[in-house]
């Protein structure tokens, strides 16, 4: 079955850039874009162990008379035809339920804050809740449309890093774009990371599909991020520590998302390969 990526369309210039990114991702891996043009500023995601109410910025309801036409023309540029999602179930009259059986979801850095508030280093709390609860990875786009010519995954040996690596290997096969791996070696030897790859039966795939394994043990993690190609899709695992003001993803994730301008594909702790 063809994989699907869920996209909430905002009929604004910022929303156009985000849908361009979804369309490029879809074209690159052979994915079907599922486009939701909301009629209300709230909806519910019913995840396995969590219910997330997504509160949209009012701009998501902009110019409904042209939204479908604009969205279709954007997706058509990539030789694709969007499927428009219409909610069938409602928890309340203005609170639709949205299914969670997609393979991917595309988000800007926030879905509930005005665009002028959003900057690099800020991922809104609703997006964090989605990442922490979803079985699918979340594509967080750069503010302007940007093609990616390679994939790079951050690998630290954890279970979630292994999931990110598995996803990266899968995307490499689908897109035929070069795959690189970045490892910041800290208080361990390279044998530790090789053992994690072997434990999950990924050694052959790793050796045949990975172009370069970047191993950093000389520079600080932040300094080495300058060497990450600006036109790479960055894939990395995230895990939630809890709720203070926002869900905190962990040191590596927070540093990466606050420094890099790349498109990010984030694998949360509940991620499972759907197909």
Distances in Å between the Cα of 164 and the Cα atoms of 25, 71, 91, 226 are 17, 30, 34, 21
Question: Do residues 222 and 119 both lie within one domain?
Answer: no
Alpha-carbon distance 131 to 253, whole Å? 12
What are the pLDDT digits (tens) for 168-207? 999 999 999 999 999 988 888 999 999 999 999 999 999 9
The confidence score (pLDDT) of residue 219 equals: 86
Is the pLDDT at 228 greater than 50? The verdict is yes
115: pLDDT strictly greater than 60: no
Q: Evaluate whether residue 156 is within a structural domain.
A: yes
Same domain, 135 and 195: no
Q: What is the pTM of this model?
A: 0.89
pLDDT at 246: 40
CATH code at position 159 = 3.40.50.620
129 shares a domain with 8: yes
Look up residue 228 and give its two tokens: 């990450």
**Number of domains forming the structure of the chain:** 2
Which residue among 87, 116, 140 closes a domain? Answer: 140
pLDDT band at 123 (very low <50, low <70, confident <90, very high): very low
Q: Are residues 27 and 68 in the same domain?
A: yes
Pair 115, 229 in one domain: no
Is the pLDDT assigned to residue 211 strictly greater than 80?
Answer: yes
Q: Which residue range is the domain that position 72 belongs to?
A: 4-140
Residues 59 and 39 in one domain: yes
**134 and 13, same domain (yes or no):** yes
What CATH number should be reported for the domain holding residue 35?
3.40.50
> What is the per-residue pLDDT for 15?
92
With 50 as the cut, is the pLDDT of residue 116 above it?
no
The conformation of residue 24, written as its DSSP 8-state character, comes to H
Mean pLDDT, range 128-150, rounded to an integer = 88
CA gap 3, 12 in Å, rounded? 27
Q: Please give the average per-residue pLDDT across 25-47, as a whole number.
A: 94
pLDDT tens string 235-251: 988 764 443 334 444 56
For residue 101, what are its two tokens? 């059986």
Residues 24 and 51 both lie in one domain: yes
pLDDT of 112 strictly over 50: no
* Residue 109 is assigned to a structural domain of this protein: yes
């Amino acid at each position: 079955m063809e994989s699907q990526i869920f996209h909430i369309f905002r009929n604004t210039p910022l929303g156009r850039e985000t849908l361009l990114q979804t369309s490029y991702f879809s074209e690159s891996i052979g994915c079907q874009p599922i486009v939701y043009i909301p009629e209300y500023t709230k909806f519910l995601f019913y995840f396995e162990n969590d219910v997330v109410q997504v509160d949209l910025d009012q701009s998501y309801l902009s110019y409904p008379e042209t939204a479908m036409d604009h969205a279709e023309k954007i997706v058509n540029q990539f030789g694709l035809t969007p499927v428009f999602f219409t909610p069938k179930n409602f928890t309340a009259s203005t609170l639709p339920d949205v299914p969670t059986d997609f393979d991917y979801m595309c988000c800007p850095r926030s879905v509930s804050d005005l665009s002028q508030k959003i900057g690099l280093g800020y991922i809104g709390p609703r997006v964090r809740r989605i990442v922490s609860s979803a079985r699918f990875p979340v594509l967080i786009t750069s503010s302007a449309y940007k093609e990616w010519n390679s994939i790079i995954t951050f690998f630290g040996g954890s279970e979630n890093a292994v999931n990110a690596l598995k996803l990266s290997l899968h995307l490499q096969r689908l897109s035929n774009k070069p795959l690189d791996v970045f490892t910041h070696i800290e208080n361990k030897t390279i044998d530790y990371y090789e053992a994690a790859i072997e434990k999950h039966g990924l050694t052959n795939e790793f050796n045949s599909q990975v172009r370069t394994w970047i191993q950093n043990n000389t520079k600080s993690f932040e300094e080495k991020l300058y060497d990450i190609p600006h036109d790479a899709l960055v894939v990395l695992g995230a895990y939630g520590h809890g709720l203070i003001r926002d869900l905190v993803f962990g040191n590596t994730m927070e540093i990466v998302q606050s420094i890099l301008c790349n498109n990010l594909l984030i694998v949360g702790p509940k991620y499972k390969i759907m197909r």
